[in-house]
Every structure is written in structure tokens, then in C-alpha cells.
A and B are shown apart, each in its own frame.
Chain A
Amino acid sequence: MAVITYREALRAAMREELKRDDKVVLMGEEVAQFNGAYKVTEGLLKEFGPKRVVDTPISEAGFIGLGIGASMLGIRPVMELMFWSFSYVAFDQIVNNAGNIRYMSGGLINCPIVIRGPANGGTNVGATHSHTPEAILASHPGIKVVCPATPYDAKGLLKAAIRDNDPVYVMENTILYNDKGEVPDEDYIVPLGVADVKREGADLTIVAHGRAVITSLKAAEVLEKEHGVSVEVVDLRSIRPLDEETILASVRKTHRALLVEENKPFCGVDAQVAYLIQSKAFDELDAPIHRVSSIDAPQIYCKRLEDQQLPDVNRVVREALKVLA
């Protein structure tokens, strides 16, 4: 097992899949010659050439629509969005075309496309560049969404996404790109729709995804050291499909749940998770479910405040203690 960064893990996933299947093509703004706006695709042009690693103009609706069309004929495009925030100018392609075409054709067509890129706040770039559209997109049947939190999951989920025959939208996080973790050298995938218990515990379940997992793990340490509480952290990894069983099993064990995400609260992923728990494990609960989300405002620029707008360790600890009270 090698210890590599989240960025390198993503790159390794793409390199291995480019080697495995000559229908895989990487496309996006600055992915080739510039080596990627965030250097995720660094070196891949050199290794695979311009047919497989393609720079696009700044034309999200155009090139993502093109990728979807190509995928209908069996190409497996892996499209990079410089930021998921920019998906909004391609929304029709991403939702109407990729998400609906299988259904509207009565199952005659499928779109094996992957769209990936960072979807996070916390980088001091203001509201237009800080969207986290996983809940918006996952609310559309026909679309799959995954949010890896660690290098291992980043590689395994991206490889699964590329092999998956439906549109899979992979939401990464620029703040995690330099995080390191163990990643096996041999081929593996993380199937979509399988959550991961990142930390076992007995008193409280925290459900999180994306960087909120990392925040929650840190909060769990504090809760154990300073408050003597044993916290279990469930990492959803995949938003749609959703691993309901792992969430419910953990709640049945701890009888208390705190849901943490970097989305804004209204119709966030955790609104769905809260509903799931109350509808399928209501009798198991010893306390009401609490949520920690970003403060409900467009992302603020001011760094000092943006750090507080996002869920931080203090806020997670505070809210956990309320659930435990």
C-alpha cells in the first residue's frame, strides 16, 4: 500500500481506466496542456496523447452535451468541470439530457458519462465558485452522485464511476486534494451506494459526506477525549445510490444521530437522511435528530467568516452534546 494524496488517487484512477479501456476519454478546460487547473490530470496528456486527453473551450453546455452524446454511442467520457459551480451553465445537458434519456427512450439508450471536479466552499473565492450541488443533482432520478472524502475512496469511487453505465457525477473537494492516505497498489473499486463506517462508536452516530467526514472525525476525537463520548462516523461516500442499511444499522446501535454536511440546510442531503431515520428507525431514537450544515447564506468571501459558515469542529461538538444531553 502506498500513501498518496487525494489528487494523486484521482489521477491514478483515471490513468488506470485510460489504460484499461480505449473508449475512456478525458475532457475539460485546461486538463491537457495546462495539466489541469488543480493538477489532477497532470502528466496524462504526455502519457496518453491528445486523442485521449482533450482540452475544451470554455463552453460547458457545449462540451458536456458533446460528452453525453458521445457516451450514447459507447464512448466513456470523463469530463472535468473546473468547479461544479460551473455546471449551472450546462444544467440542461446534465439534468435533462444525461438524466432523462434512458427513461424517455424506454431503456433503449444509456449514458455512461462521468463528470467530475471540485464542489466545495472554504476556499475564499466567493459565492459563484463555492456551490455544492450534490443534493440538487441527486434529487433527479436517472443521476448518480458520489462525494469521496479520502484518497482510497476517491480512487475507488472514480474507477467505479467510469465503469458504471449510467451518468455518475463525482464531487471532489479542493481542500482535500493534498490530504494523504493509504491506497492499495492493486486494482480495486468502491461500488457506488456503499457507505463506510470511518470510526466505530457506541453513543452517537454522525452521518456525513465529503469534507464533513473529516471534520466529523476530528470532532469525534474531541468528544472522546474531552467528553468521554464514543462516536461512530458513517461516511455516505455515495449520495445516490444511498446506503440506507449502513445508516440505519448504526442508528440502531447508538440510538442517537447527528447529520453533518457542508451544504446549505434547505433540502440538503441530510434532510433526506433525517427522513430516512425517522421513517425506518423512529422507535430506535433516544433523542431528536440534529443537523449541522453551512450557515444559510450565499458563500461569504471573508475567509475568517467563511470558515465559520462551514461546519467546523466546534460546531459539530456543540451540536453533538445537544443530541447527547
Chain B
Amino acid sequence: MAKPAVLTHPESLKRPAGPSEYAKDPVNASMSKAEKIALYTKMARIRHFEQRCIRIYQQGKIGGFLHLYVGQEAVAAGTISLLGKHDHIITGYRDHGHGLMVGMGMNECMAELTGRVTGCSQGKGGSMHYFAPDKNYWGGHGIVGGQAPLGTGLAYAVKYMGLKGSCLAYMGDGAVNQGAVHEAYNLAALWDLPMIFVIENNGYSMGTSQERSTAHPGCLAKRAEGYGMAWDVINGHDVYEVRAKTAIALKRAHEESKPTVLEIFTYRYFGHSMADPDKTYRDKDEIKEYRDKKDPVLLFEQELLREKILTPELSQEINDAAMAEADKAAVFADESPDPTLADVTKHIYWEEDNRGPDTTSRGTIIFE
């Protein structure tokens, strides 16, 4: 398929970044000062947490893959800030931002990275597998696109139980080519599930630019039309825009029990993971352009300064506190104990962890 002549990008993205056109949108205008400061604080916390991770990784204390969320903060922040009691989320492996947004602590998140028993998954999941079901956060999934059907199941369960809720399943621009994602699209549309598929389009899947991975009719979200689903494109550098447009999809889920595909344009500043030297597939200038002109945390800070909600002093205070919190978490993650060898064979089966006269399993289930 040839490159489409007309690219369907959010209007706001075509203009230089300035004051948000969505500040007056009811979901934003109705926010209290405290709520706005809290939202900014959360974005800053994600930024500083991730930046602290880089240092620990470079010290060799984090193993495996580490995918950073720096540059994409407004996506998790904007969408998750709207959610209520029966709204659930699930995502891929770039999952730290979502975790901090739902209220996971920096300590448990950092300790998971260093493989400690104090980690959110007790050192059994690692960076790609954060979970906090008590906060409606269902992971943290390592297989590209594999979370989409699970998320659809969460939405199905919400509907089955007659609750007014939803599920937001996040994925990357590379994930949209997985069959499981299309199967999930079909089921969500066919069964009118309260589902929001959020494509975090950061332009690349590892080192493959979106143009090299995906045949599409102008944008990725538009594929929703093939399933009769609503869709929208969003400037993911503006947290107000993310909130305003996600709110529409959320209302559609809550009021009509209908799914939506949202494509949120964003950018990652670091390599795909820490294992990516980031030298072959994009220009340093491109990264600089985004950092300088479209940084979501900076843009929101400026927005709040203009609104006279934030002062430079308060902003400094918030950022200092976030940095200090991340520093403390790094120490916690460093000093916490490892799981024991006996822990290796726990948490495999519910029935084993809870074995008793009434459980349904007997016999040998862990083998030598």
C-alpha cells in the first residue's frame, strides 16, 4: 500500500505548541487547582522515577529489559486521571508510568526492577510485568499485543456484572499489526463492550518507523472503521487534550457500552529499551526537536504557570520532592532482600498457595 496522501493527525499537532486549546474543555475547566497540581506532580514523578532508573540500570543493578516512559507521560497521566471505581487498565511492557499513575508507590516499583521481594510482584515480574489489581491495574505484559484480548475480557466482565465501567488497553504503534489486537477489536465491537483501545503512537516499534511497519489509511486509529468502531486522534504532548478526548470515549463506554480506538501521538526520548543504543534509525535532531518544543511535562508546567496555578517556586518544590522520592526508592530497591529459593516455587497456583481440605487439587504439581 502506498503512503496515504493525507495523514490524519490531530489538528493541534500541526501548529507550534502553545497554550492548550483544550484548557476550557469542561473536564479540564472543572478541575480544582489542587487537582491540576496533583496531575502535574504525577507527571513529574513519572519523569523523575524513570530518570532515576537510568542511573540504577547503568550501575548494573537492574537486569533484563528496561523500557522508559520519558516523553510519553501525558498519555498515562491524561487518560488515567479520568478513571473511576470500575474503570480498569492494562498495558504492554512500557508500564511504569501507568503504575505510578494508578497510585503504586515508587518503592515497590523500583524494588521490582532490582528483583527484590519488596517489589510489586515480589521480584517475579520485573520491569515489564507490574501489576496492581487492587488499583484496577492488570499489568504489564511482555508479549506485544497479547494484552488486548485480556483487556477486552476485563471490559466484558465489567459489563457482565452490570457495572458502569470500562477497560483501557494500551499498546504501541507496532502492536496494532498483531492478530490478537484485531481479534480484540472485533470482539469489542461485536459485543458492544465498554472498551477503549489506546494506541500510544511514539513513531517507532523498536527501530522500525511507523511508515516501515504499517499499511494504514492515514492513521492507525482509522482501522477502527473496519469494525464500525468510533476513533479519534490525540496530541499526546498536551495532557488537557488527552483528557478532553479520552473523556468522550469514556462517556461512550459508560453510557452506551461502545468501544473506541484512540491514537495518541507521543514520542519517547530514549532508546526502545536500555539495550537500544538508539543510533541507527532516527536523528538526534528529531529527538531534540521534541524535547525542546513538545515536552508534555514542560508544556503542562507552562500551562499551569500561565493559569497562575503553579509558581516557579512551587514547581521547583514538586520536582525536588519527586527527585528525592526517587532517590529514596533507589536506596530501598538496593537494600531490600531478594526472594528466597523457596519463593521460586510459590505463586504458581492459587490452589497450592491456599491448599486445604476444600481445595480441588491434590497430588504433585511442582516437579523435581
Contact = CB atoms under 8 A, between A and B. Distances in A.
A93 B139 contact: no
Contact of B152 (A66, A106, A191, A240): A66
A69 B149 contact: yes
Contacts of A96: 142-143, 146
- Per DSSP, chain B at the interface is mixed
Contacts, number: 195
A74 B88 CA distance: 14
Contacts of A61: 149, 179-180, 183
A193 B361 contact: yes
Interface stretch (B56-64, B119-127, B302-310): B119-127
A289 interface: no
Interface of B: 88, 90, 119-125, 129, 131-134, 138-143, 146, 148-154, 156-158, 160-161, 167, 179-180, 183-184, 186-187, 190, 346-351, 353-354, 359-368
B133 A242 contact: no
A141 interface: yes
14 contacts: A51-B160, A61-B149, A65-B149, A66-B149, A66-B150, A69-B149, A69-B151, A70-B154, A72-B150, A75-B153, A108-B131, A109-B133, A141-B348, A241-B364
A192 B360 contact: yes
B167 to A, nearest CB: 8
B363 A67 contact: no
A106 B161 CA distance: 26
A182 interface: no
A244 B180 CA distance: 38
B360 A106 contact: no
Contact of B153 (A71, A142, A166, A195): A71
Interface stretch (A97-105, A147-155, A259-267, A295-303): A97-105
A228 interface: no
* 9 closest cross-chain pairs (CB), A and B: A69-B153, A65-B149, A193-B363, A62-B183, A106-B122, A69-B150, A107-B347, A241-B363, A105-B131
Contacts of A244: 363-364
Contacts of A102: 347-350
Given A61-B179, A70-B160, 16 more contacts: A56-B187, A57-B186, A57-B187, A62-B184, A65-B149, A73-B153, A93-B150, A101-B131, A105-B131, A106-B131, A142-B349, A191-B360, A191-B362, A238-B363, A242-B365, A245-B363
Interface residues of A, number: 59
A99 B222 CA distance: 34
B365 A97 contact: no
B246 to A, nearest CB: 21
A144 B365 CA distance: 8
A83 interface: no
Nearest to A61: B180
A73 B146 contact: no
Contacts of A107: 122, 346-347, 353
Interface string A106-119: 11111010000000
Nearest to A105: B131
A110 B350 contact: yes
A59 B32 CA distance: 45
A238 to B, nearest CB: 7
A203 interface: no
Contacts of A73: 88, 153-154, 157-158, 161
A36 B152 CA distance: 24
B363 A242 contact: yes
Contacts of B131: 101, 104-106, 108-109
Nearest to A74: B157
A263 to B, nearest CB: 18
A66 B360 contact: no
Interface stretch (A9-17, A124-132, A157-165, A210-218): A157-165
Contacts of A195: 363
A25 interface: yes
